[in-house]
Structure 1
Amino acid sequence: MLKKLIIASIAITFSISVSASEPVCAGIEMIYDENGELIPLDRSVHQIDESTPIFYRNSEFIPNVSIGPRRFTNIYVKNISDRAVNFFFEPVYHSYTSGQLATVSPEQLYGVFESANSPMSSSGAFMLANTLGRIYFYYSSQEYQLSGNIYWDSATCSTSPMVVTVESYFYQNYSSGRGGIDNYYVNNGQPF
């Protein structure tokens, strides 16, 4: 009986110490491949060691939002974590009337976002801890449907850092009069 108790206590101690040392990371583990592209880490395929840099990434999708005369959209992006992250946005525009892909760029950047720190650039926008960026969309002559992928990456294993809200509003008379507003909370308003 004493032997069973000793073995059980060792097993419990070992399982507690193993689970306590495992960090909980937000996002998917990523590594650079031989072409310099970030790809998901598959430990059954990729050979890594202590010197291999591992990054963490998570993504969401922003569904169709209308932009155009009398239709305005803001995407508010907040880094609620205590670490810096890179934030990326890959917008796609379709013509409201024909449904065809459109090559427009009606974005205006505010907050920590600017032309030198753009979420639409290949390196993304660098966001320090507890900062806010805003992407404003307006197109004065035609209507478009906007959608796109958003994602973040970080070299630090931690909790989910990003909260994103899409705010759409319209006016009956361009900038005044009756109108409406709608908010879409990415990931139901929870950090991702």
Structure 2
Amino acid sequence: NLIEKNGLGFYSFNAGIYVSGDDNLVEGNIVENNENRNIWARGVNNTIENNNISTGRFGIASLSSSIIVGNIIKNHWASYGVGIELSGFGGNNHLENNILINNSVGVDIFASNSNTFVENKFYLNNIGIKAGSYGHTSNNIITKNEFENNNYYAISVYLSSFNNSIWDNSLYDNDIYDENRIS
């Protein structure tokens, strides 16, 4: 499916694909140029895989217990633009084999979202992964990610984020790298 140019005007519920229930599969779509969120999964236990997502405020916005695998997510540069936003009060998310290119933030884990596993590739983003910027996050595993040519931080972990495991990541030619942000 090609899903594009939805959501005229900036209303928070505008999305190319909007899923409000639980246990859904969103797979194999080209989703681009939607006003706010390209894919918005508001329920829990949703699987979002093998989509090509570009240009909008958020690539994928998800609440809790999601599996997000094999997506190409690029060009989310609007105000607070994010490739993958995890914003629910829960956790147990699994993000693997996604490619995030040219986003303001690649993955943002915030608003009490914990127990997230992250293993992806990040290129040309401002920040690769940001954890704990808008609420407490904990017990996240950030491993085997590739960070290349990101403008600021490859990995940014705030004081409100605790008990995280960060290891075996590849960082190359980021403007500020091999350093975690603590603020």
TM-score by length of 2: 0.23
Instruction: Pick the structure with more helix per residue.
Output: 1
Q: Which one has a bigger Cα radius of gyration?
A: 1
Q: Which has the higher contact order (CA 8 A, sep 6+)?
A: 1
TM-score by length of 1: 0.22
